[in-house]
Amino acid sequence: MIPRVNFLVDNIGASHMAFYMIDEAHKMSEQGKATVSVFYDQLHRPCRRVMLPTMMMIEAWAQPGVSIATSMSTAARLLSFPGPQIKMFYVWDMTWNSNPKPYGPATQLFRDPSLSIIARCADHARVLENNFNVEVRYVLENFDHELLLEAISHEQDRKAAK
């Protein structure tokens, strides 16, 4: 059975992240390897033509399958969603590390055991592991769909093993 993959993004407007996310999601969908949906927080003009279902974030609440947050705000929302069986956080950028900041909110989020952390590169992974003492399970660049599908399959196996 092909997995149902839901990307939670702040918006699909012009950004490096949105471009790669849509591009790789198209590949997953076209190759029939996953049923992909995109949920956004703010309505923006898409940075490229989107051949996928896109919906408001509120719709992701009960959406089953694998949900992948892509920012601190979407990750915080994802934690409260009852629908997804697997919750992942693709840490696209390190804006959480900008100053000034209070200690606590980021730590609580990153250390939540229900989130599987995905980093963009080994350096990001090292910073996340150092600062939050968490295990970064996967490292993949620019939403690489093949590695992402591998990660999802691995997470499904882990879930089944529990």
Partner 1 sequence: MKILAQAVPGNTIAGFSRAAEAAGHSWVWWEERHTPAFDVFDEIQPDMLFYMNMTRAMQKCVDTNGIPTLCGSLDSPFQFKLNQSYNVKCDYLVDAHMFNMGEVHKGLACDIGITCDTNPVGLKLCQEAPCQKVWNIKILNDTAWPTTQYLGVGTLSDKRDLYRSASLVVVDTLMDVIRVIACGSIPVSVNQEVSTTLLNHGMLIPYYDDAYTLMDFHNNVVTRNPSEGASLLANLRGHLAGHAYDDALTLILENAQ
Residues that bind partner 1 in the complex, under the rule CB under 8 A: 94, 97, 99-104, 106-107, 111, 126-127, 130-133
Residues 6+ apart with CB under 8 A from 126: none
Judged by beta carbon, residue 51 or residue 121, the one nearer partner 1 is 121
Q: Tokens 């839901």 label which residue?
A: 6
Closest CB 111 distance from partner 1, rounded Å: 5
Phi, then psi, of 52 in degrees rounded to 5: -140, 155
Closest CB 103 distance from partner 1, rounded Å: 4
Closest CB 73 distance from partner 1, rounded Å: 17
Residue pair 115/87 in contact by the 8 Å Cβ criterion: yes
Instruction: Return left, alpha or beta for 133; rule: phi > 0 is left, psi -120 to 50 is alpha, else beta.
Output: left
Q: Which amino acid is at 113?
A: P
Judged by beta carbon, residue 94 or residue 121, the one nearer partner 1 is 94
Judged by beta carbon, residue 32 or residue 100, the one nearer partner 1 is 100
